[in-house]
Structure 1
Amino acid sequence: MRLPDPGQSAPAATALPRGPHPAWIVAAVAFVTLIGAAGFRSVPSVLMNPLHEEFGWSHGTIGAAVSVNVLLYGLISPFAAALMDRFGIRRVVASALVLIAAGSGLTVFMTQAWQLMLTWGLLVGIGVGSMSMPFVATITGRWFVRQRGLVTGVLTAAGATGQLVFLPLISALATEHGWRLPAVLVAAIALAVVPLVLLFIRDFPSDMGVTAYGAGPGDDTGMRTRATGGAARALTVLATVARKPVFWLLAGGFAICGASTNGLIGTHFVSAAHDHGMPATTSAGLLALVGVFDVAGTIASGWLTDRVDSRYLLVGYYSLRGLSLLILPMLFAPEVEPSMWAFIIFYGLDWIATVPPTVALCREHFGVDGPVAFGWVFASHQIGAAVAASGAGFIRDIQGDYDLAWLIAGGLCAVAAIMSACIRRRSPVDGAVVA
């Protein structure tokens, strides 16, 4: 089927008579793109020890560079969602991939810590931030009505898949050939994805003359809307949603989510395992295995989000995650014991299972501004991750181990569960907030 030129006026939306709905093609390319973004973002956790050994930079210094990356990954997200409204999904995502390629490729020339901040921190952080979870919310919000929660779970699981694909490969390459080869590989893969985005991603279903998947008669989901200002809209939405307590409850819980996943486990698990005598390739394999179970857990969470109150899901996810972190310090050993296998399986199932219910709550409470609002909620996720990435590194430098970091994170997860329980339900009939 020939795709229409994006510059042409959109034809009237009609249903396709046969064949797969274009929404599934767009979702498939988005899945591949998100796999890459997740893989690019997870690379620094594997390179922490090689960089420390070659340059003598402390874990806190390298963790600070990772903090810049994850902080920008979050702060760019709401603006990226608004820019997708203004300039289109294809242009924003393709530009982001080019930034990632530049940032990763330039690291091979660095000799100072500030250059790590500039390349992997600034350039890659902006790039992956432009393809973060608000990208998922934009795709699902425009292209899907039916099975929206499930597709949200599948696309979110792409992050785990990227981690699964990249971490063992990056670890093996860094061990055998040094850290520079993986950096070049990331740059090459980022550039290779650009043509897929330009060829197959479309901004709205109406651009292809179809309706959103599952849209009924009179449903205008997926119809092209008038472009609005990117940065201005992002800030306007923030000013609006910040007046509602539900926004701060979601943002606070998601900040703790980021601290306990990307910031702590994602950045420091390999280093912590190395402290206990476990080979880097083994610990990287365990972290990748988290990604295997995260795929199943996040897809299941999306399925549950279509059927169960999202608030209850968040309470359960955060509570169980906190308990697992409290016992983690007792599980590290030179060899992988059965108890560590149990932790990896459980933590994988819970890793980003919080995303589908959080997206659903943003859509429920903020309506058409839901994707941009979720961008700001996700920004809090990355602020929490940035604080944990730096904080855990400094705890390691001062205490000589990560034990205190795991315990703090476990306690914070209990706080997130309480915050989720305080979110009030919104009536589907009149939009009123009820108990």
Structure 2
Amino acid sequence: MSLSTTTRRRVHRAWYVAAVAFVAILGAAGFRATPGVLITPLQDEFGWSTGTISLAVSINLVLYGLTAPFAAALMDRFGMRRVVAIALLLIAAGSGLTVLMTASWQLLLFWGVLVGLGTGSMALVFAATVVDRWFVRHRGLVTGILTAAGATGQLIFLPLLAQLAEGPGWRFASLTVAAAALAVVPFVWWLLRDRPEDVGTTAYGDRAASRSEANEHSEGAPSSGGGATQERKTANAAVRAVTVLAMAARTRPFWLLAGGFAICGASTNGLVGTHFIPAAHDHGMAAPMAAGLLAVIGIFDIVGTVASGWLSDKIDPKVLLGVYYGLRGLSLMVLPGLFAATTEPSMLIFIVFYGLDWVATVPPTVALCRRIYGADGAVVFGWVFGAHQVGAAFAAVGAGLTRDHLGAYDLAWYGAGALCLLAAGMSLAIGHARGR
């Protein structure tokens, strides 16, 4: 076998980077899965209201979102490896320190601020940055796979955390998350690299760059790619993030994308992710069983998100978003009538359907940001994702207050369903992307 044949068959370095990114996002997802599991135990031990605990969740969600655009710029300035490693350490510190809590303000600090900053520094913006730097081919597919890492983390952690919270106690659940986040740090530092040129290669599928590089080497000319990279690295991360926001905010697609994604966050992380378990508990369902249903959502979310990534390479992303939001809204309208003490077939159908649709919105949203805003697409998506988490925060608090004052979550489910139908219309109104 010739050397050239061996080289062609060698696995591209981009796939190793994607693999470690998947593991890192999976590790961060551990604490993202805990709010719904811990609400009832914290109420039982400290007597805190649903609204108080939901406020900590909302701070977490807001910081998770608003940190994202700055994290994208920080990854340009300091590199993905450093930012992601520090983010995982913040998650571990926040989740570990919760075991020492004695007052509600400590919940806001540890669970809200530290973990919010840590998870906001990676997750979906991290995925978008990896895809933009390391892939030209299969971008939609890889975006779907990395997005599904969060669902995989939920699938792994939720049943375990629910059992720990019911058995040894919620403190064991928090320490488990801290240990999982710490375990990922060595893999990130060892295997993750910031850009293809750092290891002497090009992005996967970038044949034009490969030919240009070959010509430059053959002619003895210096590569021109390093100048642009260095310029990005020396730019002030905060200034770039704000500058990109100012540019994007002058365009109509940004507000449609951000508005739709805010509703996406409200109907997933903020409402279902935070309040599904206590809502099921209100109807007599045991917390581990409800957590198991959320884990099933995680299973089908993997399928739905990867499929959505594949479809985003073939179908107009705005059409996909319109379909996803519309179907999600209709499903939320019927959810209040499905809760029961046992798992009925109708609830299982909802769980499967909602799982397929959970974050299927991410790949087409990333694709639209990339098409419309080009090289600034990852930072723009960071701000759009910030809107996602602001929407999630409002939903987390709003649903908690609804439960406290009305004694049930029904109004929250119906309201979220109506908003999703609005998001479907907003997505279809985005129009054709510039430069398409």
User: TM-score per shorter chain, which class?
Assistant: over 0.9
Shift of 1:189: 1.2
Shift of 1:18: 4.2
Once residues 427 and 76 of structure 2 are traced to their aligned partners in structure 1, the CA distance between those partners, rounded to angstroms, is 30
Contact 2:51–2:400 under 8 Å retained in 1: yes
Q: What one-letter code is carried by the residue in structure 2 that aligns with 1:403?
A: D
What residue number does 2:162 align with?
Answer: 171
Once residues 143 and 42 of structure 1 are traced to their aligned partners in structure 2, the CA distance between those partners, rounded to angstroms, is 28
- Select 1:107's aligned residue among 92, 98, 102: 98
Shift of 1:132: 2.0
Shift of 1:36: 1.3
The answer on 1:68 being equivalent to 2:24 is no
What residue number does 2:85 align with?
Answer: 94
What residue number does 2:142 align with?
Answer: 151
Once residues 289 and 276 of structure 1 are traced to their aligned partners in structure 2, the CA distance between those partners, rounded to angstroms, is 19
Once residues 90 and 391 of structure 2 are traced to their aligned partners in structure 1, the CA distance between those partners, rounded to angstroms, is 24
- Give the TM-score, by structure 2 length: 0.93
The answer on 1:319 being equivalent to 2:310 is no
Once residues 152 and 81 of structure 2 are traced to their aligned partners in structure 1, the CA distance between those partners, rounded to angstroms, is 22
Q: What one-letter code is carried by the residue in structure 2 that aligns with 1:160?
A: A
Q: What one-letter code is carried by the residue in structure 2 that aligns with 1:217?
A: A
Q: How many residues matched? A: 415
Shift of 1:218: 3.6
Contact 1:211–1:223 under 8 Å retained in 2: no
Shift of 1:206: 0.8
Once residues 120 and 254 of structure 2 are traced to their aligned partners in structure 1, the CA distance between those partners, rounded to angstroms, is 20
Once residues 294 and 387 of structure 2 are traced to their aligned partners in structure 1, the CA distance between those partners, rounded to angstroms, is 23
What residue number does 1:248 align with?
Answer: 255
SS in 2 for 1:134: helix
Q: What one-letter code is carried by the residue in structure 2 that aligns with 1:193?
A: V
The answer on 1:373 being equivalent to 2:373 is no
Once residues 207 and 249 of structure 2 are traced to their aligned partners in structure 1, the CA distance between those partners, rounded to angstroms, is 33
**For residues 83-136 of structure 1, what are the alpha-carbon distances to aligned partners after superposition, in whole Å with 9 as ceiling and x for unaligned?**
000000000000011111111111111110000000010000000000121111
Q: What one-letter code is carried by the residue in structure 1 that aligns with 2:191?
A: F
SS in 2 for 1:426: coil
Once residues 394 and 208 of structure 2 are traced to their aligned partners in structure 1, the CA distance between those partners, rounded to angstroms, is 47
**For residues 45-88 of structure 1, what are the alpha-carbon distances to aligned partners after superposition, in whole Å with 9 as ceiling and x for unaligned?**
10000000000000010001000001100000000000000000
Shift of 1:276: 0.1
What residue number does 1:32 align with?
Answer: 23
The answer on 1:82 being equivalent to 2:73 is yes
Contact 2:123–2:150 under 8 Å retained in 1: no
What residue number does 2:398 align with?
Answer: 391
Greater than 6 Å deviation, 4+ residue runs: 219-222
Once residues 43 and 403 of structure 1 are traced to their aligned partners in structure 2, the CA distance between those partners, rounded to angstroms, is 23
Q: What one-letter code is carried by the residue in structure 2 that aligns with 1:146?
A: R
**For residues 380-421 of structure 1, what are the alpha-carbon distances to aligned partners after superposition, in whole Å with 9 as ceiling and x for unaligned?**
000000000000000000000100000000000011001001
Once residues 118 and 200 of structure 2 are traced to their aligned partners in structure 1, the CA distance between those partners, rounded to angstroms, is 31
- Select 1:195's aligned residue among 161, 186, 201: 186
Shift of 1:216: 1.3
Structure 1 unmatched ranges of 5 or more: 1-14
Once residues 208 and 135 of structure 2 are traced to their aligned partners in structure 1, the CA distance between those partners, rounded to angstroms, is 14
Contact 2:30–2:180 under 8 Å retained in 1: no
Q: What one-letter code is carried by the residue in structure 2 that aligns with 1:207?
A: D
SS in 1 for 2:132: helix
Once residues 223 and 398 of structure 1 are traced to their aligned partners in structure 2, the CA distance between those partners, rounded to angstroms, is 59
The answer on 1:344 being equivalent to 2:335 is no
What residue number does 2:220 align with?
Answer: none
- Select 2:264's aligned residue among 252, 257, 262: 257
SS in 2 for 1:256: helix
Identity over aligned pairs, percent: 64
Structure 2 unmatched ranges of 5 or more: 1-5, 214-223
The answer on 1:285 being equivalent to 2:276 is no
Q: What one-letter code is carried by the residue in structure 2 that aligns with 1:314?
A: L
Once residues 133 and 231 of structure 1 are traced to their aligned partners in structure 2, the CA distance between those partners, rounded to angstroms, is 19
Deviates more, 1:156-165 or 1:185-194: 185-194
SS in 1 for 2:246: helix
